[in-house]
């Protein structure tokens, strides 16, 4: 077992997770409110990361892989907010709570956090996140007046939108990827920048090690 890691921000995250509303159809997901400490959430919106040039994503984030922003060891060294964010989700107690809540076996996996800045024209095709992703938590960080409508679309296997997560500031959507966890982002106007975080725990065989918050430190549940 690795060294016990406890994060002050992790306490706030766990409080939000414990209070999250659970929805069971069309698959099980949770809607946590006020996920991050407010000062941390605000600091993350002020990071000097520019939105990528507008171009057709073809419905996939990997279409523009070179422009993606991850909470890497380098970004943690440079920005305190990135370090605090990573520590909150590497926190042993946070990992343990997520395991207990969702039933996902996270211990031994690795933390991966992406900072997303989407602008008008962005969309995501229906997909499930199955594969090497063991858990997905989306955290929305836009304070724009339209942000409530910028949440992730919960879909069925035909791509029909059955629900939409609230995209309100510092709220989120949590689920365990499975064959039925269809979701996406149907094309709709984005005036300004749609800011969000994608927090994943991924299996140890994840190849793109530069995307991991702690490439040499698997998570521990304690």
* pLDDT reported for residue 8: 83
**Backbone φ and ψ of 145, nearest 5°:** -65, -20
Residue 60 has pLDDT above 60, yes or no: no
Each domain of the chain, given as residue ranges in start order, spans: 8-46+57-211
Residue 34 has pLDDT above 60, yes or no: yes
Lowest mean per-residue pLDDT among 54-58, 84-88, 201-205: 54-58
pLDDT (average), residues 43-47 = 96
Helix (H/G/I), strand (E/B), else coil: 138: strand
Where does the pLDDT of residue 63 fall: very low under 50, low under 70, confident under 90, or very high at 90 and above? very low
Nearest to 154 by CA among 136, 133, 134: 136
Q: Residue 25 pLDDT more than 60?
A: yes
More confident residue, 50 or 80: 80
CATH of the structural domain 8-46+57-211, one choice from 3.40.50.300, 2.60.120.620, 3.30.1490.190, 3.40.640.10: 2.60.120.620
pLDDT computed for residue 130 by the predictor: 85
Q: Is 79 a residue whose pLDDT tops 70? A: yes
Is residue 64 within 8 Å of 57, Cβ to Cβ?
yes
- Name the nearest CA neighbour of 65 among 116, 110, 109, 111: 116
């Amino acid at each position: 077992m690795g060294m016990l890691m406890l994060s002050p921000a992790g306490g706030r995250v766990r409080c939000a997770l414990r209070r999250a509303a659970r929805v069971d159809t069309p698959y099980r997901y949770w809607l946590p409110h006020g996920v991050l400490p407010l000062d941390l959430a605000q600091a993350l919106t002020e990071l000097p990361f520019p939105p990528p040039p507008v171009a057709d994503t073809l419905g996939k984030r990997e279409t523009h892989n070179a422009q993606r922003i991850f909470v890497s060891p380098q970004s943690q060294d440079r920005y305190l907010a990135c370090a605090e964010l990573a520590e909150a989700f590497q926190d042993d107690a946070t990992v343990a709570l997520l395991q207990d809540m969702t039933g996902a076996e996270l211990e031994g996996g690795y933390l991966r956090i992406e900072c997303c800045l989407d602008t008008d024209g962005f969309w995501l095709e229906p997909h499930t996140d199955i594969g090497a992703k063991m858990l997905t938590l989306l955290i929305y960080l836009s304070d724009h007046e339209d942000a409530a409508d910028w949440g992730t679309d919960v879909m069925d296997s035909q791509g029909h939108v059955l629900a939409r997560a609230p995209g309100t500031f510092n709220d989120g959507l949590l689920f365990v990827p499975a064959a039925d966890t269809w979701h996406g982002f149907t094309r709709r106007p984005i005036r300004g920048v749609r800011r969000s975080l994608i927090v994943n725990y991924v299996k140890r065989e994840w190849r793109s090690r530069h995307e991991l918050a702690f490439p040499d430190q698997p998570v521990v549940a304690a």
